[in-house]
Amino acid sequence: MYVNTLRNWVSLDDDECRVKPILYTTDSSGVGDSLLAELAKQLGWEVFKAPKVHEHGVPFLKDMYMDAAERVPNCSYYAYSNGDILFSHDIIETLEETFKVNVVFVELAPYFRILCY
């Protein structure tokens, strides 16, 4: 399953280099010694140690986003996806069109949001 995901994300890249896949690992070396990390590197992924983990070893998503933003500062979108979700090239076009609409959510309360155009 994860091999398909690694290949899928790399296939989303094109001549414009719009996709920069990053794999964060929690292995002890921090450089991704696992077979999955090695395959990711071979396919062109960047592999880094998760910047911050919970006391039980679970990485914090917020810190991965912040780290990715520092590593790739000129990016329009940052995304996280589980290893069991695959995308087609349509995801890139969808994100680009969404960016053009300039939609903003204003959060008024935890479960109430207003869509602003």
The two counts, helices (H) then strands (E), for the chain are 4, 4
Q: Are 38 and 32 contacting, i.e. CB atoms less than 8 angstroms apart?
A: yes
60, part of any domain:
yes
113, part of any domain:
no
26, part of any domain:
yes
116, part of any domain:
no
Query: How do residues 24-79 score in pLDDT, each as one tens digit?
Result: 988 765 555 588 889 999 999 999 999 999 999 899 999 999 999 999 888 877 88
57, part of any domain:
yes
**Global confidence as pTM:** 0.75
Please give the tally of structural domains in the chain: 1
109, part of any domain:
no
25, part of any domain:
yes
User: Residue 61 is part of which domain span?
Assistant: 2-85
78, part of any domain:
yes
Q: How far apart are CA 104 and CA 94, in angstroms?
A: 16
If one counts every other C-beta atom within 10 angstroms of the C-beta of residue 88, the result is: 11
* Amino acid sitting at position 85: I
